[in-house]
Each structure stands twice: as C-alpha cells, then as structure tokens.
Amino acid sequence: MLSRHSSVEPTGLESELFRIIDKRLQALGIELPNLTGPTANYVPVRCHGGVVLVSGQVPRLNGSAMYVGKVGKTISREEAYQAARLCAINMIAQLRVALDGDLDRVVSCLRIRGFVNATEDFTDHPTVIDGASDLVVEVFGDAGRHSRTALGVSSLPRGFSVEVDGDFAVA
C-alpha cells in the first residue's frame, strides 16, 4: 500500500487516503482563492529542509483588497477576526502551491505570526488573530496547533487591517 506522501498517483481504495485536507476544506465550505504575485522584492513561500515559510498574507479575495482600515476605528474586532481568517485562507493557498497541490504533506503548523493595524487603545489583538489560528486548526486538526505571536502595529502595507504569516513542517 502506498504511503499518503507517495508521488505515485493512487487508485481504488488507496485514493481514500489521499487529499484528506482537500476534503476537509470542502466540508468547511472553503474554496482557496486564486493567488496574485508578490508586490515587492520577495517570494511568497520559501521551502528549506522540511519547513515551509509562508510570507505575510493580507486579506485579499481573488486579488481584491478586503478589510482595509484600522481596527478599533473603521474595522470592528469581529471584522478583523474575519480578516485574519481570510489571511489564513490565503496562507493555505500559498502553501498548497508550494506543496504541488498536496496539503496532506503538512505535518504540523509550527508558528503563526499576526499583525493587527490598530488604534493605540485597542488591546484585543489575540482575539483578532484567533481568526487565523481557529481556521488553521479547523483545516489541519491537531497538526494545525501552533505557537503564535499577535502584535498590534500602527500601520500595515496598503492600509490592510491584518497580516498573517506562518511556518509549517512538511513531509
């Protein structure tokens, strides 16, 4: 029987072992978006020695800017939570490209870092970044449990309310 990380295409009963994460995404009603290229001099994903580093993702939906503004002023905490969730969806989409479409290769989400463009008096950054953390655990189960940093910042590129990056161990 093939391992779930084999490069050989499965047939019959073996195919049931493949694409577990794709099935979970479908069950959650999540369609990974079309990706746009980087807007500066960097790569969206770097793979090295069984680790995939996904560059910061902002809340874009198929290339359209979403959730632009400052949390605590023009963006509510609940909207920022959804923005962080969309950032995580984009992060998973980048991860899928890096893994040649096989998200089942993810062994563990090691770390998520979240940045919240917030007013000085906004202090609920962890709740905002829970939007990304909750999604990663929903998608990857126990393999999605991670360490995390949630920071408040005075601004983010192009005025986005949230940015999230992540590090993943892969097989």
Q: How far apart are the C-alpha atoms of 114 and 112, rounded to whole Å?
A: 6
- The CATH number of residue 138's host domain is 3.30.1330.40
Is 164 part of any domain? Answer: yes
| Whether the Cβ atoms of residue 133 and residue 112 lie closer than 8 Å to each other | yes
| Structural contact between residues 110 and 147, judged by C-beta atoms closer than 8 angstroms | yes
Widest CA span of the chain, in angstroms?
57
Q: Is residue 152 part of a domain?
A: yes
C-alpha distance across the termini of the chain, in Å? 18
What is the distance, to the nearest Å, from the Cα of residue 115 to the centroid of all Cα atoms in its chain? Answer: 13
- In this prediction, residue 37 carries a pLDDT of 79
pLDDT tens digits, residue range 20-59? Answer: 999 999 999 999 998 877 878 999 999 999 999 999 999 9
Instruction: Confirm if 59 and 160 have CB atoms less than 8 A apart.
Output: yes
What pTM, to 2 d.p., does this model score? 0.89
In a domain, 114, yes or no: yes
